[in-house]
Every structure is written in structure tokens, then in C-alpha cells.
């Protein structure tokens, strides 16, 4: 393993041996024009190593705190483990409870047009960028920015977003556990067959709603038994912890801890079950739904096109936001998982497979959802639009109510909530991997010691559990909605925009494409042609669309209020959410200032030095090493005096050594 300067990387066995040899040598001279050691101290280099006319490698020594240790970096047990992990990470709850709803709300089948355009212009290029960056650098979201130290704040921002997502995402798994346990009863506790709901289902007036419409047994179960939101007045009144949910949340974090205890060696095996089982359940639900009365009505409602919706900017914004929501771009999970790949893994192939699989899953999940919702609408004699919902309302109110109407409702309910559990766990694996990889790469001694690594993971999970207790109080759903609304909002778009611009214009889009070609050692002709398309997206189309999405988010955020049900969030609550998003993206500015302040010279010189890759920015294969060596220039070393070695000096010293012998 070699770094971009052609020298052995600190993390390789060769690098460790050379470091030891260098430490023991004093007043030594290496004759190939590379290094002079004086008085036992490593020299300071005054020149930089060049890899191309437009791309230079900074010869500054890497920060010891971020250097790899001699402990070899883990790798996936096989390419299928990586593919399944990425598919499981991307195919999550958003595919089930968000995409179908957006599809019917935004013109049915017409929504697929802006969705596919946004997928091709923003989703796939950014997905490939994140995978390639992680695989080439073999580092987490923070350390990988050795390729451009000025942008280290992007990695810090990704870490902040990922922490917010982990904080609330496991609460969904806790809700799933609660429903799963409740599904073991027959009849289901939210069905009309249950004795406690006889009065409600009999006259339809026992449940009260602030909207004037009677609540169904499912809504009462969700609001009173699960959330306890009826006992809270709002964001300012969280109330006591609901200990039944707190126990479910604890179990959820224990499962995450155990599955990730041995890193990708354990989570890579778990995904064989968690990533494939949801597909089995979706297929079974589609088959079951096709046999129900009213299912075709639901599917027609899902797909009926409304061509006039294409002129609405909201439709295009929803399509773009769904791409980010479902693919997990900009959170650091993809980058971290790709960092455990072999250097020559075909990232373009993986990108096309994963993004296509995710898109198809979202589309076909709609058939499973709306066929059964159509049956419920037929049973109740109401339009499908009245039973359709999005977010937790679909997963924990509308769909359970529909399942309760089916013969064998207990079985179908168990299958559905096990599927939700699998979808949630896979996505949480990716987000947690982004956090742990970032920290372990910054503090390599944790990776070197198994006990310390386990203690860190345990402390991380326990810390998230303690913070998550706020979200399982009586008013926890208000805090859940706040974090959900702002954690992946404008802050994530800004982080992704700077990642795209930084790689394209600071690191260099040509250099980045060359790095991808180096990784795909036998890049076929179609591969290089596809890269031309991606290059055009990274430089022009993707930043333009990200700016459009960002502008629309700010306009919508200013003009609309945040609410959950009939509760409208106060200004201070909305301001708190804005601060969450701002904290994530402001890391870019803060760490850019830090990087520039560490350099010397004029402001222009500092900036130019801060965008140069460090020597530890690695190249793993012999092909890449040869490419680096072809462009290398001899390093000039500055000490108390400057030594410039030539072939004549080398011959003279050889002659002197021979005469002394």
C-alpha cells in the first residue's frame, strides 16, 4: 500500500518498517533525491509532489492523530456483502411510507418522470461520487478529506447529520417493537374485533378528534397507548418517559450494538437476512393484495396520471427530496461502507445496481401499500385518498388498520412489522457505520484495541439511548417530527453541494475521474463514456439542481408552518430546527477557516496550500503507484542547509566509500 507520493503509507506493514528504520537512523542520506535526515529529525520538505499538471500533492506530513495504524483495515467478506449492505441502507422506511404517498399526491404515474430525471442527474452522480471517494481513500467521512484539507468540515457536517438521524431513527424501531409485541394478541388490540373497541366501532362517536371527525381504534391506539401524545400540550411539555417505549428503545440499541460489535464482519453477515427478508414480505403482500376486493381501485389511485402536475415546482422538489431521503446521500454512510471495499472494486457497476434496485423497490412497494389500502377504502365505502397517509401515519395507523380487516390479520401484522424492523435496522447500520468509521479513523488507537473499540461502540449506543429518551415521552412525537423535518433538510443539501463543488473544482474533476479509472483496472469503453456523463453532471447539472432544491426549501420553510396533526409549532421550535440544520452546514466554514489559519503566506497562498492533497492521500494499486511515480519530482529538503543531490554526487560518494573500504 502506497501513498500518493509513491512512498509506503503509514498504515501498511512496509510503511511501519520504514518508519522504524528512519527513526533509528541519524545523519543518513538517501541517494535517490528523496530524503535527507539530519540529527535524527525528519526533514521539512519545501517542494510538493506532482501527479498531473493541474493536481499537486502537498508534501506536509499528515496529522499523527489521523494516520492509520499498522492494524490492517477490515474489508468486506465478499462483494455481495457490500451490495446487500448498501441496498439495505438505501431501501428503508422511506420506500414504504414516503414514496407511494408522494407518487399519488404528485400526479400518480406522472411523478415517475421528475423522479427518474432527478435520479439520473442528482442521485446517481452523487451516489457514485460518495462511493468512489470512500473506496479510493479507504477512509471515513472526516479522514477522507485529506484529498482537500480545506473541506474537512464537510466530513464533520456529515457526522452531525448522521448523529441526528441515528437519534430519531431508532425510535421508529422502538415503535415497531411495540407493535410487534401487540401483534401477538388475537384479535389485534387496534381492530374492531377487540372487546375494548366495541363501543368505538359500534357508534363511531366515542373517539374524539380536534378536527371534528371521530377517531378510529387504530388512531386511538397510536395516540393514546403508544405515544401518549394526548397527555402533552406541545413541544414545551414533553411529560414523563413512557417506560414501555423506553424498554423497546433499549432493546433496539442492544440489537444494534451486538450486530455491529465486530464491525463489518458481523453486520456484513446480518444483512443477508435483513436486506432480503423485506423483499419476500413485499412480494407476499402484493400477491395477497391482488386477491382483495377494491385492490385495483387502490392501484389505479396510485398510478393514475395527472399531467398538469408536471408544471408544479413542488413535484420536482418532492422528487429530489425523495432521492436524498431514500439513497442516504451526504450522511456519510455510503462513504464509510465503500471505504472497506477492495481498491479495484467496480464502483460504477455497484452504483448502477444499487440505485436501480432502490428505485424499483420504491415503485413496487406502492403496489403492496395501495392494493391493501384500496381494500380498506372499499370496506369503509370511502375514497382511497381518505385512508392514504405519509410518514408514521401510514406505517402505524393506516396500514395496521387495513391489515386488521384481512383474514389472518395477526399473521399479516407480524409480517409487516418484522419487515419494518428489517428496513429500519439496515438503514441504521449504515448511519452508525458512518459515525464509527469517522471516529475510528481519526483515533486509530481505538481500532487497534478490540476492547477499546467495543467500549466506544457501547458508550455511543448508550449515549444515543439516553438522548432518545426525550423522544419516547408523552410529547416525544413533537420532538421526533422536529428532528425529522430539519436534520435532513437544507443542511444536508448544502453539505452535498459543497462536496460536489469541492471535488469538481478544488480536487479536480479530471483527477477524480482518473482515480475512478485507476480503481477499475480494466475499464471497458462504455465505462469511460459513462464517466463523461458523470463529469458533466458533477460540474454543471448536479450543482444547478441542488441550488434549485435549496432555494425551494428556503422559500417553503419561510412560507409554511411546521405542524404535527392539529398542533402548530411555535416560532422558537421552528428556530431550534433551523439551528440544527445550520449547525451541520456551518462546520464547512469553521473548519475551512481552521485549515487556512494553519498555513503560512498570503491569503491566496494559504488557500492554495489548503486545497492540496496531503501525502497520506493514498493510492492502493501498482497501476496507481506507477502513475504517481511517472509524475514525481525529486523532493528538495530544507534543514539548517539545503542539500541537492545529483548523479555526480552519488558517484563521488560511492567512490569515497570504496576507497575507505
Which residues have C-beta within 8 Å of that of residue 286, sequence separation ≥ 6? 364, 367, 368, 371
CA 638 to CA 46: how far, in whole Å? 6
* Side-chain-facing half-sphere of 301: CA atoms under 13 Å: 24
CB atoms within 10 A of CB 72: 11
Instruction: Kindly state the greatest CA–CA separation across the chain.
Output: 111
d(C-alpha 186, C-alpha 170), whole Å: 27
Q: Taking Cα atoms as reference points, which of 428, 464, 454 lies closest to residue 333?
A: 428
Q: Does residue 638 contact residue 20 with C-beta atoms inside 8 Å?
A: no
Residue 411 and residue 220: Cα distance in Å, rounded?
22
Q: 3-state class of 359 per DSSP?
A: helix
Label residue 158 exposed, middle or buried (CB < 10 Å: 0-12, 13-18, 19+). buried
Q: What span, in angstroms and rounded, lies between the C-alpha atoms of 260 and 293? A: 44
267 forms beta bridges with none
Q: Residue 366, preceding bond cis, omega within 30 degrees?
A: no
Which residues contact residue 524 at a Cβ distance below 8 angstroms, ignoring those fewer than 6 apart?
none
Query: How far is the C-alpha of 580 from the C-alpha of 559, rounded, in Å?
Result: 19
Cis peptide before 560 (omega within 30 of 0): no
426 is in an annotated binding site: yes
Q: Do the Cβ atoms of 302 and 100 come closer than 8 Å? A: yes
Q: How many residues comprise the chain?
A: 661
User: Any binding-site annotation on 358?
Assistant: yes
Q: State how far the Cα of 423 lies from the Cα of 230, in Å rounded to an integer.
A: 29
Q: CA-CA distance, 497 to 504, in Å (whole number)?
A: 11
What SS3 state is found at 351?
helix
Q: Give the H or E element holding residue 578.
A: helix 571-597
H helices, E strands: number in the chain: 30, 9
Please indicate if the annotation marks 357 as binding a ligand: no
d(C-alpha 39, C-alpha 25), whole Å: 9
Q: Buried b vs exposed e over 18-38: b needs ≥16 C-beta within 10 Å?
A: eeeeeeeeeeeeeeebbbbbb
150 annotated to a ligand binding site: no
- Residues 6 or more apart whose CB falls under 8 angstroms from that of 654 comprise none
State the distance between the two ends of the chain, measured CA to CA, in whole angstroms: 37
The answer to whether the CB of 470 falls within 8 A of the CB of 476 is yes
The Cα–Cα gap between 219 and 225 comes to 10
The distance of Cα 96 from the centroid of its chain, to the nearest Å, equals 18
> β-strands 637-638, 642-643: how paired?
antiparallel
Closest CA to 369 of 353, 390, 386: 390
Alpha-carbon distance 182 to 410, whole Å? 9
| Separation of alpha carbons 583 and 562, rounded Å | 19
* 95 belongs to an annotated ligand binding site: yes
Backbone phi, psi, residue 632, to 5°: -70, 145
CB 43 within 8 Å of CB 35: yes
Annotated binding-site residues for Na(+) read: 88, 91, 95, 326, 358, 423, 426
Annotated binding-site residues read: 88, 91, 95, 326, 358, 423, 426
Amino acid at each position: 500500500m502506497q501513498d500518493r507520493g509513491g512512498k509506503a503509507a503509514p498504515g501498511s506493514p512496509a510503511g511501519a518498517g520504514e518508519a522504524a528504520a528512519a527513526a533509528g537512523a541519524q545523519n543518513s542520506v538517501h541517494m535517490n533525491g528523496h530524503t535527507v535526515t539530519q540529527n535524527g529529525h525528519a526533514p521539512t520538505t519545501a517542494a510538493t509532489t506532482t501527479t498531473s499538471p493541474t493536481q499537486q500533492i502537498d508534501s506536509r506530513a499528515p496529522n499523527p492523530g489521523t494516520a492509520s495504524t499498522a492494524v490492517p483495515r477490515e474489508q468486506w467478506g465478499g462483494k455481495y456483502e457490500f451490495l446487500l449492505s448498501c441496498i439495505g441502507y438505501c431501501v428503508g422506511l422511506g420506500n414504504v411510507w414516503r414514496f407511494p404517498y408522494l407518487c399519488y399526491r404528485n400526479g400518480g404515474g406522472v411523478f415517475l418522470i421528475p423522479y427518474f430525471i432527478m435520479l439520473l442527474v442528482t442521485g446517481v452522480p452523487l451516489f457514485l461520487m460518495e462511493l468512489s471517494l470512500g473506496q479510493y481513500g479507504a477512509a471515513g467521512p472526516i479522514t477522507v478529506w485529506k484529498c482537500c484539507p480545506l473541506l474537512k468540515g464537510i466530513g464533520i457536517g456529515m457526522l452531525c447529520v448522521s448523529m441526528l438521524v441515528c437519534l430519531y431513527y431508532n425510535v421508529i424501531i422502538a415503535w415497531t417493537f411495540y407493535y410487534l409485541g401487540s401483534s401477538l394478541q388475537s384479535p389485534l388490540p387496534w381492530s374492531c374485533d377487540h372487546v375494548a373497541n366495541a363501543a368505538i366501532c359500534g357508534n363511531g362517536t366515542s373517539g374524539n378528534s380536534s378536527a371534528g371527525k371521530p377517531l378510529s381504534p387504530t388512531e386511538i391506539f397510536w395516540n393514546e397507548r403508544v405515544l401518549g401524545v394526548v397527555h402533552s400540550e406541545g413541544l414545551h411539555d414533553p411529560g414523563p418517559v413512557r417506560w414501555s417505549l423506553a424498554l423497546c428503545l433499549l432493546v433496539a440499541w442492544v440489537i444494534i450494538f451486538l450486530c455491529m460489535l465486530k464491525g463489518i464482519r458481523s453486520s456484513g453477515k446480518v444483512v443477508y437476512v435483513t436486506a432480503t427478508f423485506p423483499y419476500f414480505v413485499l412480494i407476499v403482500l402484493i400477491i395477497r393484495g391482488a386477491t382483495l376486493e377494491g385492490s385495483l381501485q387502490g392501484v389505479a389511485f396510485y398510478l393514475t396520471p395527472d399531467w398538469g402536475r408536471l408544471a408544479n415546482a413542488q413535484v420536482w422538489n418532492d422528487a429530489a427530496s425523495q432521492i436524498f431521503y431514500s439513497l442516504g446521500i451526504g450522511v456519510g454512510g455510503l462513504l464509510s461502507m465503500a471505504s472497506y471495499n477492495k481498491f479495484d472494486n467496480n464502483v460504477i457497476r455497484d452504483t448502477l445496481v444499487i440505485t436501480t434496485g432502490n428505485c424499483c423497490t420504491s415503485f413496487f412497494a406502492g403496489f403492496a401499500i395501495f392494493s391493501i389500502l384500496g381494500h380498506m377504502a372499499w370496506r369503509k365505502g370511502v375514497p382511497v385518498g381518505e385512508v392514504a397517509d405519509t410518514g408514521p401515519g401510514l406505517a402505524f395507523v393506516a396500514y395496521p388498520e387495513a391489515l386488521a380487516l384481512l383474514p389472518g390479520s395477526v399473521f399479516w401484522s407480524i409480517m409487516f412489522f418484522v419487515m419494518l424492523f428489517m428496513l429500519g435496522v439496515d438503514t441504521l447500520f449504515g448511519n452508525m457505520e458512518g459515525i464509527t468509521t469517522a471516529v475510528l479513523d481519526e483515533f486509530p488507537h481505538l481500532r487497534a484495541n478490540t476492547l477499546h473499540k467495543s467500549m466506544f461502540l457501547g458508550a455511543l449506543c448508550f449515549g444515543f439511548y439516553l438522548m432518545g429518551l426525550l423522544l419516547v415521552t408523552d410529547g416525544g412525537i413533537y420532538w421526533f417530527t422536529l428532528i425529522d423535518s430539519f436534520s435532513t433538510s437544507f443542511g444536508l443539501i448544502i453539505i452535498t453541494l459543497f462536496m460536489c463543488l469541492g471535488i469538481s473544482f478544488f480536487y479536480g474533476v479530471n483527477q477524480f475521474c482518473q482515480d475512478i479509472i485507476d480503481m477499475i483496472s480494466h475499464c471497458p469503453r462504455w465505462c469511460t463514456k459513462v464517466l463523461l456523463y458523470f463529469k458533466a453532471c458533477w460540474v454543471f447539472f448536479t450543482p444547478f439542481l441542488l441550488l434549485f432544491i435549496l432555494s425551494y426549501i428556503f422559500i417553503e420553510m419561510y412560507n409554511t408552518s411546521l405542524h404535527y396533526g392539529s398542533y402548530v409549532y411555535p416560532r422558537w421550535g421552528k428556530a431550534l430546527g433551523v439551528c440544527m440544520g445550520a449547525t451541520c452546514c456551518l462546520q464547512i466554514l469553521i473548519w475551512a477557516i481552521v485549515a487556512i489559519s494553519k498555513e503560512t503566506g498570503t491569503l491566496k497562498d494559504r488557500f492554495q496550500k489548503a486545497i492540496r492533497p496531503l501525502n497520506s492521500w493514498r493510492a492502493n494499486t501498482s497501476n496507481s503507484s506507477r502513475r504517481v511515480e511517472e509524475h514525481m519530482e525529486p523532493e528538495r529538503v530544507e534543514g539548517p542547509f539545503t542539500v541537492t543531490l545529483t548523479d555526480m554526487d552519488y558517484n563521488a560518494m560511492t567512490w569515497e566509500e570504496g576507497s575507505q573500504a
